Chain A
Amino acid sequence: MKSIALKHFLYETAGIYLFAVRFFKELFKPRFEFNEFLKQCYTVGNTSITLVSVTALIMGLVITIQSQPAMETFGTESWLPSVVSISLVRELVPVITALTCAGKIGSSIGAELGSMKVTEQIDSMEVSGTNPFKYLVVTRVLAATLMLPLLIILGDTISLYGAYIGVNINQNVSFHLFTNQVFAKLDFSDVLPSVIKGLFFGFTIGIISCYKGYHTKNGTEGVGKSANSSVVVSIFAVFMIDLIAAQVANIFHIL
Chain B
Amino acid sequence: MMEKVSYNKEAIIELINLKKSFGNNRVLNDLNLTVKQGENVVVIGKSGSGKSVLIKCIIGLIKPDSGIVSVFGNDVSKLSHDDLDQMRAKVGFLFQSNALYDSMTIRENLEFPLRRHWLKDTKDTINDLVLDALTNVGLADTIDMKPSELSGGMKKRVALARTLILKPEIILYDEPTSGLDPVTGKEISNLIVEIQKKYNTSSIIISHDLSCAKITSNKIVILIDGTCYATGTFEELNNMSDKKVKQFFD
Direct contact of A and B (CB under 8 A): yes
Contact surface of A with B, Cβ cutoff 8 Å: 112, 115-116, 118-121, 123-130
Name the contact of B61 in the complex, choosing from A119, A126, A129, A130 (C-beta under 8 A): A126
Inter-subunit contact B116/A130 (CB<8 Å): yes
Please pick, from B88, B95, B116, the residue contacting A120 in the complex, using a CB distance under 8 A.
B95
| CB-based contact A123/B99 at 8 Å | yes
Identify the closest chain B residue to A112 (Cβ). Answer: B103
Chain B 124-135 per-residue mask, 1 if CB under 8 angstroms from chain A, else 0: 000000000000
> Contacts A127-B88, A128-B116, A130-B116 known; A121 to B99 CB distance under 8 Å?
yes
Answer whether residue B100 sits at the interface, using C-beta atoms and an 8 A cutoff. yes
CB-CB < 8 A to B93: which residues of A? 124, 127
B89 to A121, Cβ gap below 8 A? no
Is B59 part of the contact surface with A, judged by Cβ < 8 Å?
yes
B46 in the interface (beta carbon within 8 A): no
CB contact list, B99-126 vs A, under 8 A: 99-103, 112-113, 116-117
Nearest 3 Cβ contacts at the A-B interface: A124-B99, A129-B116, A128-B113
Contacts of A115 in B (CB 8 A): 102
Residue from B97, B103, B112 in contact with A128 in the complex, judged by beta carbons closer than 8 Å = B112
For chain B, the bracket of interface size reads 20 to 34
Residues of B within 8 A of A112 (CB): 103
- Within the assembled complex, what's the spacing in Å between the Cα atoms of A95 and B59? 45
- Write the nearest CB–CB distance from B46 to chain A, whole angstroms: 19
Q: Taking the nearest CB of chain B, how far is it from the CB of A44, in angstroms?
A: 14
Additional 12 contacts, C-beta under 8 A, given A121-B99, A121-B102, A125-B112: A115-B102, A116-B102, A119-B97, A120-B95, A120-B99, A123-B61, A128-B88, A128-B116, A129-B88, A129-B89, A129-B113, A129-B117
Query: Cβ of A120 and Cβ of B97 under 8 Å apart?
Result: yes
Q: Which residues of A contact B89 (CB under 8 A)?
A: 129
Report 22 cross-chain contacts, Cβ distance below 8 Å, ordered by A residue. A112-B103, A119-B98, A119-B102, A120-B95, A120-B96, A120-B99, A121-B99, A121-B100, A121-B101, A121-B102, A123-B61, A123-B95, A124-B95, A125-B112, A127-B61, A127-B88, A127-B91, A128-B88, A129-B85, A129-B88, A129-B116, A130-B116
Instruction: Judge whether B214 is part of the interface by a CB distance below 8 angstroms.
Output: no
Which of B85, B99, B117 is the one whose CB lies under 8 Å from A119?
Answer: B99
Does B56 sit within 8 A of A, measured CB to CB?
A: yes
Distance in angstroms from A236 CB to nearest chain B CB is 28
* Residues in chain B near residue A127, CB distance under 8 A: 59, 61, 88, 91, 93
